[in-house]
Structure 1
């Protein structure tokens, strides 16, 4: 094996180091999520566990403060799952994948016959009064004549975010 080639073991260690999983780093929560390119946080408490595992001296209040002040955002960023990213990274990361994700959605059988611009307008109107649960948004879409499946696509037209704790 050439000296420059990485063995599977070395490649694995490099990946773990890049993801801050070999040793705890002395970083803020914002710097950590920027360093790793976002953390999947579909299950909300996993953000706290994920950062506690990665950061020296991590305190729960530090992440809660960053979320409350809008320095870290939880939303649909990559794929169709919720990720935690810095406020600075959120716009370019979502914009980078938006067109492709919309194209994929347009090929999904669930999207057939749904006017996504109108569904997005409905959700914007529903949210004008403040945060709502996903169930309330789906209920509002149903009341406006859309199918339940419209919600799966709406997040590709509106940058929905999770309300901080």
Structure 2
């Protein structure tokens, strides 16, 4: 019994002494967060290199505007040109295939929106196969009426 008591007292005293030592002595990592490289800010080049390292690309505001303008001019529908467009819907084409066809011909701007409108109106099964002529002044709803009401 006394042997066990001496062991437990030694263990307890050892834990108390080690905890006091850890409270008094600072750790190495305490200073890392407060003073680490805060004196010199990163240059733009260093930020770009760090971004490239992780697979990101940084652009200036002017570059972003140029990219936006370029994308808008490329994805403009033919409405601006005023020429009618003919397209053909084959029998058995899925809604996604039709949406892709109309998007590639720049008749619609958003494939997902086109599909959602067809689904909401219950017209997915009502699309008729055939050749259609698209006029530039037609809206997406006009196109839907055109391809679902062909005689």
What is the TM-score normalised by the length of structure 1?
Answer: 0.24
Indicate the structure with greater helix content.
2
Structure 2 length-normalised TM: 0.26
Q: Please say which structure displays the higher CA radius of gyration.
A: 2
